[in-house]
Structure 1
């Protein structure tokens, strides 16, 4: 069953109930807009602090989008890209694309014009929806993307090289088009994070999207009364696939623009959110704001908040220990997944396994997991190997890249590129990315282990460990450390703190600086290596 059927079911069963709410803190005046009023102000979709639409309106807008695309010649198997910030318009456009049988292609809002062009060409995109934030970038490449003839603009001030989507869609039928979809039909192309170069195009079938919804609902038990707070960008599988749990239960979702810690807590309180998915930096920021008095929890209604879960990156156990001291009644889950395995939950900790914090968990609903050595043989004795997963959510392929596909898909198993180990209870611990392992003097160093150790220091807000070239050892471990505001810590303090580590794991270089992370919270280690490797070579030559 395609996931569009869930939207149509919700529109029938919960027609006049709120489906989505958008909170935009950048708008100072608090103006509440209901679904009826929303129809009247669509031409200025970003002028309100709070907007909402019902399930009925959501489905009608998706149908209008689908009928517009079909009227312009888009057909089953064509590719339609979305380049928009999170908004009430995002998901109706996404589902409209799916309803035509076309393939939805969400784009990272941080892409440069050149990266946008690269992804549009790689995915053979035929049409593009974009918002006002991207006018300049799209204009820069307009003459270089002749295949993308259909360019639909959503917002105020439609540029000359695009068409005003809202005006066009308003005149189209709100009834669903009669397009037959099967589980095996292609549904969406997502892009890898691109932290090692230009991203790969990841092709998923409708079966994978539906499985993501089932996984999320099975893991976190969403009911019709839950309210899910979604903060990460919708172009990423993690955010949208976690929201799919709300789709399957017909419950309300809140789209919050921005990551200010006070705004997050205010939104949880005002919107009566029960489930919140956070990234590690946001958890740190919330706890820091509570510690320094910027947030007084007594000012908010948070008793309904039942679950906080984290994904997209390794989670320091010390951070969860700290969180549970502040929110002792919260259920907690860690979710591991990749865009290649349709986002959340191919491995997850599980709500009842708080004693195993530090592990990414056990195989998720409908998933199989194994750890393999360099020859692809399963490892069962606790040694470190590469994590492999298998299930209905594994990608079909890297689109237009058979060589890369063959490297990671082996007899239905997806090689994740993550190094892991499994304990005697079957819980999996992420050790590091395969490509991030540092080989220093013949010893394998796993940066995540050192980072977790450093983050347990009360003065440290964040840490990243990278390998830097060394004439004698091949590589050395360098620790980039971001201190908490007002914290005092010297290089000597860090070195003394690291005496608790085995000698070979101790960082040989300490750098105090901010830690760059991408929109999904992953540390941008290639950027750090680029910044510090040349500097390290110069230092060696000077000392040599």
Structure 2
């Protein structure tokens, strides 16, 4: 069985039921409606200008049409097809159409520059590209270098001269499933790494990995046909899509929200009766802050059906979850750990029954194994820090066209994650930090995540990132970049006083007040912070020497 089988099954069983809803706040025209009026009158807005929906039958037919369009253009099993779209109602039918044609789906980060788009299309050998209006200006400068991308479909109005209209072409394609036989060992998709150490690497997965992600997600969160999943993160990333796989396997409705404001998140939960919401740390923080400062009034929303809030994609501060539980005590909470190399979330999983272990990423997920090892690959003792390695059906096949990088992380079926971790007496795994982010100061290993978790307990801090900066005596020092909550002021002396609770060697030696940049999946962009602050400090250290 492959994941396209789930779509075809849902089209038969739940033909006219809603599969997907897109909510785009930028299309709302009734700005005059007050929040109080919304809370009393507008519980559900199926005819709202910012809302589109699609049934399971329509979803399957649209996927079939696109698959047949690809085949009609001579694309064959194994051809790579790029997707460069913002989250929208068309995204998943296009993805499934690519799979149904036997092609490989190649989603691209919507933040990529022209240079990065060109690099990734070339690296993955993409021959066809589906893109939206947001990317025309980024594609035009690199057109001379995109000869291998011989087919270009445009999703939207005002089709550029170098592309064809997706909407116009699929209208004339067959609604029937194409005669392509898919097996679990067939290649299915190429995803890209975050590219934090240079250009992204291409991660190759087969259909077995995608199918296993469905089973793992549904096993962890128990999605039923009645559940409604609110999906906010970008679909190009494995995290968002693989969490949606729980809706796919259960035939439940999913809502794609194109906005991250606390008001729109809570409004979408209210209007669409969402029961499961996956948040990133910054969005959960923004919701809590909006409640605290009064810009959100929970009386304006209907949230009783919301049963599960879960977070992934980055370390989760325990203080954040403790705050969340005080305001939403009826919510089950979970956290999931994963990488694109492990087909997204779930290879390590806390479990809703283990809320007492908040702060841990959990134990090996359904169908997965995990261990923490030293530099020689030997398991470390309880409490010792080592590198986390995972093994399971979602481990990538390889880094496409990069055997050297593959050999560095894949050993005897184990994926070495590059994340430093430790295991407690009950077998729960705690992330310590990324291997490359460890700060070595005066011979001591400092783990920024531990310092960040401590600093987030200070009520004036909205977000924080700890990085290493060069120092002539200690080699490196820990620097804390701190983003203060809106409307508040904070001084270096306050932070230094608060940090007296930390062991001396863990206290940040430098305090910087600035905004914390995060990527679309919520991860702190530490390379950007190092680039901003590292050079001046390096010159200073070299001058001192």
The TM-score with structure 1 as length reference comes to 0.96
Instruction: Give CA deviations for 1:287-311 in whole Å, capped at 9, x if unaligned.
Output: 0100111111011100000000000
State the alpha-carbon separation in 2 of the partners of residues 48 and 194 from structure 1. Answer: 37
State the alpha-carbon separation in 2 of the partners of residues 375 and 453 from structure 1. Answer: 31
Aligned residue for 1:23? 23
What secondary structure does 2:344 align onto? Answer: coil
Instruction: Give CA deviations for 1:104-161 in whole Å, capped at 9, x if unaligned.
Output: 0000000000000000000000100000000111111111011100000000100000
Aligned residue for 2:244? 243
State the alpha-carbon separation in 2 of the partners of residues 48 and 69 from structure 1. Answer: 32
How does 1:158-237 map onto structure 2 within 5 Å? 158-237=159-238
Aligned length: 529
Structure 2 residue 125 is the aligned partner of structure 1 residue 136: no
1:30, 1:49 within 8 Å by CA — same for their partners in 2? no
Aligned residue for 1:9? 9
State the alpha-carbon separation in 1 of the partners of residues 305 and 329 from structure 2. Answer: 13
Unaligned 5+ segments in structure 2 are 32-47
State the alpha-carbon separation in 2 of the partners of residues 278 and 137 from structure 1. Answer: 29
What secondary structure does 1:353 align onto? Answer: helix
Aligned residue for 1:64? 65
State the alpha-carbon separation in 1 of the partners of residues 74 and 221 from structure 2. Answer: 40
State the alpha-carbon separation in 1 of the partners of residues 268 and 543 from structure 2. Answer: 54
Over 3 Å counting, the alpha-carbon distance change for 1:257 and 1:381 in structure 2 is: same
Aligned residue for 2:120? 119
Aligned residue for 1:104? 105
What secondary structure does 2:377 align onto? Answer: coil
Report deviation, 1:258: 1.0
What secondary structure does 1:283 align onto? Answer: helix
Over 3 Å counting, the alpha-carbon distance change for 1:541 and 1:388 in structure 2 is: closer
What secondary structure does 2:143 align onto? Answer: helix
What secondary structure does 1:345 align onto? Answer: strand
Aligned residue for 2:364? 363
Over 3 Å counting, the alpha-carbon distance change for 1:30 and 1:222 in structure 2 is: farther
Report deviation, 1:381: 2.4
Aligned residue for 1:454? 455
The TM-score with structure 2 as length reference comes to 0.96
State the alpha-carbon separation in 1 of the partners of residues 58 and 13 from structure 2. Answer: 13
State the alpha-carbon separation in 1 of the partners of residues 157 and 83 from structure 2. Answer: 17
Aligned residue for 2:41? none
State the alpha-carbon separation in 1 of the partners of residues 81 and 544 from structure 2. Answer: 55
Structure 2 residue 289 is the aligned partner of structure 1 residue 288: yes
Report deviation, 1:542: 7.3
Structure 2 residue 390 is the aligned partner of structure 1 residue 389: yes
Structure 2 residue 270 is the aligned partner of structure 1 residue 269: yes
State the alpha-carbon separation in 1 of the partners of residues 386 and 419 from structure 2. Answer: 8
1:83, 1:128 within 8 Å by CA — same for their partners in 2? yes
1:30, 1:50 within 8 Å by CA — same for their partners in 2? no
Report deviation, 1:487: 1.8
2:472, 2:544 within 8 Å by CA — same for their partners in 1? no
What secondary structure does 2:512 align onto? Answer: strand
What secondary structure does 2:430 align onto? Answer: strand
1:21, 1:51 within 8 Å by CA — same for their partners in 2? yes
1:232, 1:520 within 8 Å by CA — same for their partners in 2? yes
Instruction: Give CA deviations for 1:414-464 in whole Å, capped at 9, x if unaligned.
Output: 000000000010000000000000000000000000000000100100000
Structure 2 residue 299 is the aligned partner of structure 1 residue 322: no
Report deviation, 1:56: 0.1
Aligned residue for 1:36? none
Aligned residue for 1:346? 347
Kindly report structure 1 stretches of 4+ aligned residues shifted beyond 6 Å. Answer: 541-544
Instruction: Give CA deviations for 1:239-263 in whole Å, capped at 9, x if unaligned.
Output: 0000000000000000000101111
Aligned residues: CA RMSD: 1.2
Report deviation, 1:530: 0.6
Instruction: Give CA deviations for 1:496-521 in whole Å, capped at 9, x if unaligned.
Output: 11111111111000000000000000
Higher deviation after alignment, 16-25 or 372-381: 372-381
